[in-house]
Amino acid sequence: MKKSVLIAGTGPVAVQLAVLFKTYTTHHVDMVGRSDVSAKAQQFWQAYQNAQQLEVQVQNDLHMSLAGTATLGRLYERYEAVEPHYDVLVLACTADAYSQVIQQLSPAVRQQLKHVVLVSPTFGSHMVVQQQFSAEQPNIEVISFSTYLGDTTVSHPETPHRVLTKGIKKHLYIGTIYEQSDFSQEIIDLLSEVQIPVTQVAHPLMAESRNSSLYVHPALFMNKHALKAVFEGMTVPFYVYKLFPEGPITMQLIAEMRQMWQEVMAILKHLNIDTLNLLKFMVKENYPLRPETMDDDRIEAFETLSAIEQEYLLYVRYTGILIDPFSEPDENGKYFDFSAVPFKEVFRNEEGVWQIPRMPNEDYYRTQMMRGIAQALNISTPMMDTLIQRYEAQLTAFQKAHPNDRVSTQFQIQSFEEDINSIAKLLNSEG
Protein backbone atom coordinates (compact mmCIF):
# COMPACT_ATOMS: atom_id res chain seq x y z
CA MET A 1 0.00 0.00 0.00
CA LYS A 2 1.32 3.43 -0.93
CA LYS A 3 2.39 5.48 2.07
CA SER A 4 3.46 9.06 2.65
CA VAL A 5 7.00 9.17 4.07
CA LEU A 6 8.66 12.13 5.79
CA ILE A 7 12.44 11.98 6.23
CA ALA A 8 13.67 14.16 9.10
CA GLY A 9 17.14 15.46 8.31
CA THR A 10 18.98 16.80 5.27
CA GLY A 11 22.38 15.17 5.72
CA PRO A 12 24.00 12.43 3.59
CA VAL A 13 22.07 9.66 5.37
CA ALA A 14 18.74 11.35 4.58
CA VAL A 15 19.70 11.71 0.91
CA GLN A 16 20.64 8.03 0.58
CA LEU A 17 17.41 6.91 2.25
CA ALA A 18 15.28 9.22 0.08
CA VAL A 19 16.84 7.76 -3.08
CA LEU A 20 16.24 4.20 -1.78
CA PHE A 21 12.58 4.85 -0.99
CA LYS A 22 11.98 6.57 -4.34
CA THR A 23 13.80 3.84 -6.31
CA TYR A 24 12.39 0.73 -4.68
CA THR A 25 8.93 1.72 -3.39
CA THR A 26 5.88 3.57 -4.67
CA HIS A 27 5.74 5.75 -1.54
CA HIS A 28 5.46 9.53 -1.62
CA VAL A 29 8.70 10.92 -0.12
CA ASP A 30 9.30 14.37 1.40
CA MET A 31 12.12 15.76 3.55
CA VAL A 32 12.37 18.36 6.30
CA GLY A 33 15.37 20.22 7.66
CA ARG A 34 16.22 23.17 9.88
CA SER A 35 17.29 25.73 7.30
CA ASP A 36 15.75 28.45 9.48
CA VAL A 37 18.47 27.88 12.13
CA SER A 38 21.20 25.73 10.53
CA ALA A 39 23.67 27.07 7.96
CA LYS A 40 24.26 23.55 6.60
CA ALA A 41 20.54 22.88 6.22
CA GLN A 42 20.13 26.25 4.50
CA GLN A 43 22.91 25.35 2.07
CA PHE A 44 21.20 22.01 1.36
CA TRP A 45 17.86 23.73 0.78
CA GLN A 46 19.44 26.17 -1.68
CA ALA A 47 21.35 23.42 -3.52
CA TYR A 48 18.18 21.37 -3.90
CA GLN A 49 16.21 24.37 -5.18
CA ASN A 50 18.84 24.77 -7.91
CA ALA A 51 19.18 21.10 -8.85
CA GLN A 52 15.63 19.85 -8.11
CA GLN A 53 16.95 16.36 -7.49
CA LEU A 54 19.02 14.31 -5.06
CA GLU A 55 21.90 12.16 -6.24
CA VAL A 56 23.74 9.18 -4.74
CA GLN A 57 26.99 7.85 -6.18
CA VAL A 58 28.88 4.81 -4.89
CA GLN A 59 32.59 4.17 -4.47
CA ASN A 60 32.39 0.45 -5.18
CA ASP A 61 30.64 -0.88 -8.30
CA LEU A 62 29.34 -3.80 -6.20
CA HIS A 63 27.02 -1.29 -4.49
CA MET A 64 25.49 0.20 -7.67
CA SER A 65 21.99 -0.72 -6.46
CA LEU A 66 22.31 2.09 -3.88
CA ALA A 67 23.12 4.72 -6.53
CA GLY A 68 20.55 6.86 -8.29
CA THR A 69 18.64 10.11 -8.33
CA ALA A 70 15.35 11.19 -6.80
CA THR A 71 13.02 14.16 -6.82
CA LEU A 72 11.16 14.94 -3.61
CA GLY A 73 7.50 15.78 -3.43
CA ARG A 74 8.42 18.60 -1.08
CA LEU A 75 11.37 19.87 0.95
CA TYR A 76 10.27 21.73 4.09
CA GLU A 77 12.53 24.47 5.45
CA ARG A 78 11.44 23.90 9.06
CA TYR A 79 9.66 21.30 11.17
CA GLU A 80 6.84 23.59 12.21
CA ALA A 81 5.76 23.90 8.55
CA VAL A 82 5.16 20.16 8.05
CA GLU A 83 1.58 19.33 7.03
CA PRO A 84 -0.38 16.55 8.74
CA HIS A 85 -0.60 13.85 6.08
CA TYR A 86 2.35 11.50 6.73
CA ASP A 87 2.14 7.83 7.68
CA VAL A 88 5.86 7.27 8.25
CA LEU A 89 8.51 9.40 9.97
CA VAL A 90 12.11 8.39 9.24
CA LEU A 91 14.48 9.94 11.78
CA ALA A 92 17.70 10.41 9.77
CA CYS A 93 19.23 12.75 12.37
CA THR A 94 21.46 12.00 15.36
CA ALA A 95 19.84 10.15 18.27
CA ASP A 96 20.24 13.09 20.67
CA ALA A 97 17.99 15.17 18.36
CA TYR A 98 15.03 12.74 18.25
CA SER A 99 13.03 14.41 21.04
CA GLN A 100 13.57 17.91 19.69
CA VAL A 101 12.54 16.91 16.16
CA ILE A 102 9.33 15.21 17.32
CA GLN A 103 8.41 18.13 19.59
CA GLN A 104 8.78 20.57 16.68
CA LEU A 105 6.18 18.68 14.66
CA SER A 106 2.63 19.84 15.29
CA PRO A 107 0.24 17.64 17.32
CA ALA A 108 -1.79 17.13 14.12
CA VAL A 109 1.29 15.69 12.35
CA ARG A 110 2.07 13.40 15.28
CA GLN A 111 -1.53 12.12 15.43
CA GLN A 112 -1.43 11.14 11.75
CA LEU A 113 1.81 9.12 11.94
CA LYS A 114 1.63 5.32 12.19
CA HIS A 115 5.31 4.31 12.02
CA VAL A 116 8.61 5.88 13.14
CA VAL A 117 11.91 4.49 11.87
CA LEU A 118 15.08 5.14 13.90
CA VAL A 119 17.99 4.95 11.47
CA SER A 120 20.94 5.47 13.86
CA PRO A 121 19.53 5.06 17.37
CA THR A 122 21.46 4.59 20.53
CA PHE A 123 20.62 2.17 23.32
CA GLY A 124 17.15 3.12 24.60
CA SER A 125 16.21 5.53 21.79
CA HIS A 126 12.99 3.71 20.95
CA MET A 127 11.73 4.33 24.51
CA VAL A 128 12.47 8.05 24.22
CA VAL A 129 10.53 8.19 20.94
CA GLN A 130 7.65 6.08 22.26
CA GLN A 131 7.18 8.47 25.18
CA GLN A 132 7.20 11.49 22.86
CA PHE A 133 4.14 10.04 21.11
CA SER A 134 2.36 8.81 24.25
CA ALA A 135 -0.21 11.63 24.21
CA GLU A 136 -1.10 12.05 20.53
CA GLN A 137 -0.40 8.57 19.13
CA PRO A 138 0.12 5.93 21.85
CA ASN A 139 -0.19 3.03 19.37
CA ILE A 140 2.53 4.21 17.00
CA GLU A 141 4.97 1.57 15.79
CA VAL A 142 8.59 2.40 16.63
CA ILE A 143 11.19 0.53 14.57
CA SER A 144 14.88 0.57 15.51
CA PHE A 145 17.86 -0.35 13.36
CA SER A 146 21.14 -1.43 14.93
CA THR A 147 22.93 1.26 12.93
CA TYR A 148 22.87 3.05 9.57
CA LEU A 149 23.34 0.84 6.52
CA GLY A 150 26.77 2.15 5.50
CA ASP A 151 29.14 5.08 5.23
CA THR A 152 27.74 8.03 3.27
CA THR A 153 29.34 11.46 2.93
CA VAL A 154 28.76 14.68 1.01
CA SER A 155 30.74 14.62 -2.25
CA HIS A 156 31.52 18.34 -2.09
CA PRO A 157 30.51 20.92 0.58
CA GLU A 158 28.92 23.20 -2.03
CA THR A 159 26.65 20.44 -3.38
CA PRO A 160 25.21 18.68 -0.28
CA HIS A 161 22.37 17.20 -2.36
CA ARG A 162 25.00 14.95 -4.00
CA VAL A 163 26.41 12.23 -1.76
CA LEU A 164 28.84 9.31 -1.99
CA THR A 165 28.22 5.98 -0.28
CA LYS A 166 31.69 4.54 0.36
CA GLY A 167 30.71 1.20 1.84
CA ILE A 168 27.88 -0.82 3.34
CA LYS A 169 27.45 -2.84 6.53
CA LYS A 170 27.76 -6.61 6.36
CA HIS A 171 24.63 -7.08 8.44
CA LEU A 172 21.92 -5.02 10.13
CA TYR A 173 19.44 -5.79 12.91
CA ILE A 174 15.93 -4.43 13.15
CA GLY A 175 13.44 -4.54 16.02
CA THR A 176 9.90 -3.24 16.39
CA ILE A 177 7.66 -2.79 19.40
CA TYR A 178 5.07 -4.97 17.60
CA GLU A 179 5.69 -8.69 17.12
CA GLN A 180 4.11 -8.84 13.67
CA SER A 181 4.69 -5.84 11.45
CA ASP A 182 4.05 -5.66 7.71
CA PHE A 183 5.91 -2.37 7.51
CA SER A 184 9.10 -3.66 9.16
CA GLN A 185 9.01 -6.61 6.75
CA GLU A 186 8.67 -4.16 3.88
CA ILE A 187 11.84 -2.37 5.05
CA ILE A 188 13.70 -5.70 5.30
CA ASP A 189 12.57 -6.53 1.74
CA LEU A 190 13.70 -3.09 0.55
CA LEU A 191 17.19 -3.61 1.98
CA SER A 192 17.40 -7.10 0.46
CA GLU A 193 16.94 -5.37 -2.93
CA VAL A 194 20.28 -3.64 -2.30
CA GLN A 195 21.97 -6.80 -0.94
CA ILE A 196 22.03 -5.76 2.73
CA PRO A 197 21.05 -8.69 4.98
CA VAL A 198 18.80 -7.76 7.89
CA THR A 199 17.92 -9.91 10.89
CA GLN A 200 14.64 -9.14 12.66
CA VAL A 201 15.02 -9.46 16.44
CA ALA A 202 12.43 -9.73 19.18
CA HIS A 203 12.80 -6.25 20.67
CA PRO A 204 14.02 -2.78 19.58
CA LEU A 205 16.45 -2.70 22.53
CA MET A 206 18.09 -5.85 21.21
CA ALA A 207 18.53 -4.21 17.80
CA GLU A 208 19.92 -1.07 19.45
CA SER A 209 22.40 -3.19 21.43
CA ARG A 210 23.82 -4.77 18.24
CA ASN A 211 26.15 -1.86 17.60
CA SER A 212 29.78 -2.27 18.65
CA SER A 213 30.19 1.53 18.98
CA LEU A 214 28.20 1.35 22.23
CA TYR A 215 30.93 -0.69 23.89
CA VAL A 216 34.02 0.39 21.97
CA HIS A 217 33.71 4.14 21.39
CA PRO A 218 33.38 5.38 25.00
CA ALA A 219 36.61 3.59 25.96
CA LEU A 220 38.45 4.72 22.80
CA PHE A 221 37.31 8.35 22.91
CA MET A 222 36.85 9.06 26.64
CA ASN A 223 40.29 8.13 27.96
CA LYS A 224 42.85 10.76 29.02
CA HIS A 225 45.06 10.36 25.94
CA ALA A 226 42.17 10.65 23.47
CA LEU A 227 40.60 13.59 25.31
CA LYS A 228 43.93 15.42 25.25
CA ALA A 229 44.18 14.83 21.49
CA VAL A 230 40.61 16.04 20.86
CA PHE A 231 40.47 19.05 23.20
CA GLU A 232 44.10 20.22 23.37
CA GLY A 233 45.54 18.98 20.10
CA MET A 234 48.77 17.13 19.36
CA THR A 235 51.95 18.14 17.53
CA VAL A 236 51.68 14.95 15.43
CA PRO A 237 48.62 12.84 14.47
CA PHE A 238 47.26 10.54 17.19
CA TYR A 239 45.40 7.51 15.86
CA VAL A 240 42.13 6.08 17.23
CA TYR A 241 42.88 2.38 16.65
CA LYS A 242 46.62 2.27 17.37
CA LEU A 243 48.49 1.11 20.46
CA PHE A 244 50.04 3.68 22.80
CA PRO A 245 52.01 5.88 22.11
CA GLU A 246 50.75 6.08 18.49
CA GLY A 247 47.19 5.83 19.78
CA PRO A 248 45.25 5.41 23.04
CA ILE A 249 45.07 1.60 23.25
CA THR A 250 46.60 0.38 26.51
CA MET A 251 45.85 -2.47 28.89
CA GLN A 252 43.79 -0.03 30.97
CA LEU A 253 41.71 1.05 27.96
CA ILE A 254 40.96 -2.58 27.09
CA ALA A 255 39.96 -3.26 30.72
CA GLU A 256 37.60 -0.26 30.59
CA MET A 257 36.11 -1.47 27.29
CA ARG A 258 35.42 -4.91 28.78
CA GLN A 259 33.86 -3.39 31.90
CA MET A 260 31.66 -1.10 29.79
CA TRP A 261 30.42 -4.15 27.87
CA GLN A 262 29.73 -5.99 31.13
CA GLU A 263 27.62 -3.12 32.47
CA VAL A 264 25.47 -3.05 29.32
CA MET A 265 25.11 -6.85 29.46
CA ALA A 266 23.78 -6.49 33.02
CA ILE A 267 21.01 -4.25 31.62
CA LEU A 268 20.15 -6.75 28.87
CA LYS A 269 20.03 -9.65 31.34
CA HIS A 270 17.75 -7.67 33.65
CA LEU A 271 15.35 -7.06 30.74
CA ASN A 272 15.55 -10.69 29.52
CA ILE A 273 17.18 -9.67 26.23
CA ASP A 274 19.87 -11.84 24.62
CA THR A 275 23.38 -10.75 25.56
CA LEU A 276 26.12 -10.06 23.00
CA ASN A 277 29.43 -11.86 22.53
CA LEU A 278 31.46 -8.69 21.99
CA LEU A 279 34.53 -10.36 20.50
CA LYS A 280 32.47 -12.45 18.08
CA PHE A 281 30.49 -9.38 17.02
CA MET A 282 33.71 -7.44 16.38
CA VAL A 283 35.36 -10.22 14.38
CA LYS A 284 32.40 -11.64 12.47
CA GLU A 285 30.35 -8.51 11.79
CA ASN A 286 32.87 -5.67 11.77
CA TYR A 287 36.51 -6.29 10.81
CA PRO A 288 37.63 -9.93 10.48
CA LEU A 289 40.90 -11.40 11.75
CA ARG A 290 43.11 -13.97 10.08
CA PRO A 291 42.40 -17.43 11.57
CA GLU A 292 46.13 -17.62 12.40
CA THR A 293 45.64 -14.66 14.77
CA MET A 294 42.74 -16.14 16.73
CA ASP A 295 40.82 -19.38 16.36
CA ASP A 296 37.04 -19.64 16.36
CA ASP A 297 36.89 -21.73 19.54
CA ARG A 298 38.29 -18.85 21.61
CA ILE A 299 35.94 -16.38 19.93
CA GLU A 300 32.86 -18.54 20.57
CA ALA A 301 33.87 -19.11 24.23
CA PHE A 302 34.54 -15.41 24.92
CA GLU A 303 31.57 -14.83 27.25
CA THR A 304 32.54 -17.77 29.48
CA LEU A 305 36.18 -16.75 29.99
CA SER A 306 37.75 -14.95 32.95
CA ALA A 307 38.12 -11.16 32.89
CA ILE A 308 41.87 -11.30 32.20
CA GLU A 309 41.39 -13.79 29.32
CA GLN A 310 38.68 -11.57 27.82
CA GLU A 311 40.97 -8.53 28.05
CA TYR A 312 43.82 -10.49 26.45
CA LEU A 313 41.66 -11.51 23.49
CA LEU A 314 40.32 -7.98 23.00
CA TYR A 315 43.91 -6.67 23.00
CA VAL A 316 44.94 -9.32 20.45
CA ARG A 317 41.97 -8.33 18.31
CA TYR A 318 43.19 -4.72 18.12
CA THR A 319 46.77 -5.80 17.34
CA GLY A 320 45.35 -8.02 14.59
CA ILE A 321 43.82 -5.07 12.74
CA LEU A 322 46.65 -2.55 13.11
CA ILE A 323 47.17 -3.37 9.44
CA ASP A 324 44.51 -4.75 7.08
CA PRO A 325 45.34 -8.46 7.45
CA PHE A 326 43.70 -9.23 4.10
CA SER A 327 45.52 -6.56 2.07
CA GLU A 328 48.44 -7.34 -0.25
CA PRO A 329 51.90 -6.32 1.00
CA ASP A 330 53.96 -3.89 -1.06
CA GLU A 331 57.52 -4.59 -2.24
CA ASN A 332 58.80 -3.71 1.25
CA GLY A 333 56.42 -6.13 2.98
CA LYS A 334 54.19 -3.32 4.25
CA TYR A 335 50.46 -3.95 4.53
CA PHE A 336 47.72 -1.31 4.31
CA ASP A 337 47.83 0.85 7.48
CA PHE A 338 44.25 0.10 8.45
CA SER A 339 44.38 1.67 11.92
CA ALA A 340 45.69 5.09 10.80
CA VAL A 341 42.47 6.96 11.61
CA PRO A 342 43.47 10.22 13.33
CA PHE A 343 41.45 11.79 16.12
CA LYS A 344 39.61 14.91 15.01
CA GLU A 345 40.21 17.98 17.16
CA VAL A 346 37.69 20.54 18.40
CA PHE A 347 37.20 23.19 15.72
CA ARG A 348 35.61 26.57 15.06
CA ASN A 349 32.63 26.67 12.70
CA GLU A 350 31.86 29.39 10.12
CA GLU A 351 30.65 31.71 12.89
CA GLY A 352 33.81 31.19 14.96
CA VAL A 353 32.06 29.04 17.59
CA TRP A 354 33.98 26.09 19.04
CA GLN A 355 32.47 22.69 18.16
CA ILE A 356 33.21 19.14 19.33
CA PRO A 357 33.59 16.40 16.67
CA ARG A 358 30.83 13.80 16.36
CA MET A 359 33.04 11.44 18.33
CA PRO A 360 33.22 11.95 21.33
CA ASN A 361 30.14 14.23 21.42
CA GLU A 362 27.76 11.39 20.46
CA ASP A 363 29.51 9.03 22.87
CA TYR A 364 28.73 11.38 25.76
CA TYR A 365 25.01 11.19 24.93
CA ARG A 366 24.94 7.42 24.36
CA THR A 367 26.84 6.73 27.60
CA GLN A 368 24.46 8.98 29.54
CA MET A 369 21.48 7.11 28.04
CA MET A 370 22.87 3.72 29.02
CA ARG A 371 23.63 4.92 32.53
CA GLY A 372 20.09 6.35 32.78
CA ILE A 373 18.58 2.97 31.90
CA ALA A 374 20.84 1.26 34.44
CA GLN A 375 19.84 3.74 37.17
CA ALA A 376 16.15 3.15 36.44
CA LEU A 377 16.81 -0.58 36.95
CA ASN A 378 19.01 -0.06 40.06
CA ILE A 379 22.09 -1.42 38.28
CA SER A 380 25.43 0.11 39.30
CA THR A 381 27.68 1.42 36.52
CA PRO A 382 31.07 2.44 37.96
CA MET A 383 32.74 2.36 34.51
CA MET A 384 30.12 4.56 32.86
CA ASP A 385 30.33 6.93 35.85
CA THR A 386 34.11 7.20 35.42
CA LEU A 387 33.92 7.83 31.66
CA ILE A 388 31.28 10.54 32.08
CA GLN A 389 33.15 12.26 34.93
CA ARG A 390 36.36 12.22 32.89
CA TYR A 391 34.63 13.73 29.85
CA GLU A 392 32.83 16.41 31.85
CA ALA A 393 36.09 17.43 33.54
CA GLN A 394 37.53 17.99 30.06
CA LEU A 395 34.53 20.16 29.06
CA THR A 396 35.06 22.32 32.14
CA ALA A 397 38.83 22.57 31.57
CA PHE A 398 38.35 23.68 27.95
CA GLN A 399 35.97 26.48 28.92
CA LYS A 400 38.37 27.67 31.64
CA ALA A 401 41.21 27.70 29.10
CA HIS A 402 39.11 29.70 26.58
CA PRO A 403 37.18 32.16 28.79
CA ASN A 404 36.61 34.74 26.04
CA ASP A 405 35.78 32.34 23.21
CA ARG A 406 32.32 31.43 21.97
CA VAL A 407 31.56 27.76 22.52
CA SER A 408 28.60 25.66 21.39
CA THR A 409 26.12 24.03 23.76
CA GLN A 410 28.11 20.80 23.26
CA PHE A 411 30.53 22.13 25.89
CA GLN A 412 27.81 22.32 28.55
CA ILE A 413 27.63 19.55 31.12
CA GLN A 414 24.28 17.93 30.37
CA SER A 415 22.15 15.38 32.16
CA PHE A 416 19.82 14.72 29.17
CA GLU A 417 17.21 14.54 31.90
CA GLU A 418 14.15 14.67 29.63
CA ASP A 419 15.23 11.66 27.56
CA ILE A 420 16.35 9.68 30.62
CA ASN A 421 13.05 10.44 32.39
CA SER A 422 11.16 9.20 29.30
CA ILE A 423 13.04 5.91 29.49
CA ALA A 424 12.54 5.57 33.26
CA LYS A 425 8.81 6.27 32.91
CA LEU A 426 8.39 3.55 30.30
CA LEU A 427 10.50 1.02 32.21
CA ASN A 428 8.56 1.67 35.40
CA SER A 429 5.21 1.27 33.62
CA GLU A 430 6.36 -2.05 32.11
CA GLY A 431 7.91 -3.21 35.38
One pLDDT digit (tens) per residue for the chain, 431 residues: 899 999 999 999 999 999 999 999 999 999 999 988 888 899 999 999 999 999 999 999 999 999 999 999 999 999 999 999 999 999 999 999 999 999 999 999 999 999 999 999 999 999 999 999 999 999 999 999 999 999 999 999 999 999 999 999 999 999 999 987 899 999 999 999 999 999 999 999 999 999 999 999 999 999 999 999 999 999 999 999 999 999 999 999 999 999 999 999 999 999 999 999 999 999 999 999 999 999 999 999 999 999 999 999 999 999 999 999 999 999 999 999 999 999 999 999 988 999 999 999 999 999 999 999 999 999 999 999 999 999 999 999 999 999 999 999 999 999 999 999 999 999 988 76
Residues 415 and 364: their CA atoms lie apart, in Å, by: 10
Catalytic (active site) residue 28 = no
Element (DSSP H or E) covering residue 174: strand 172-176
Of the CA atoms within 13 Å of residue 401, those in its CB half-sphere come to 10
Do 240 and 234 form a contact (C-beta atoms < 8 A)? Answer: no
What is the separation, in whole angstroms, between the first and last Cα of the chain? 36
* CA 185 to the chain's CA centroid: 22
Our separate counts of H helices and E strands in the chain read: 16, 14
* List of residues 6+ apart from 99 with CB closer than 8 A: 128, 129, 132, 418, 419, 422
Size of the chain, expressed as the number of residues it contains: 431
Of the CA atoms within 13 Å of residue 247, those in its CB half-sphere come to 21
Q: Give the β-pairing of 115-118 and 68-70.
A: unpaired
Catalytic residue among 27, 217, 270, 402: 217
Do 419 and 128 form a contact (C-beta atoms < 8 A)? Answer: yes
Q: Give the three-state DSSP class for 167.
A: strand
- The phi, psi pair for 5, rounded to 5°, reads -110, 130
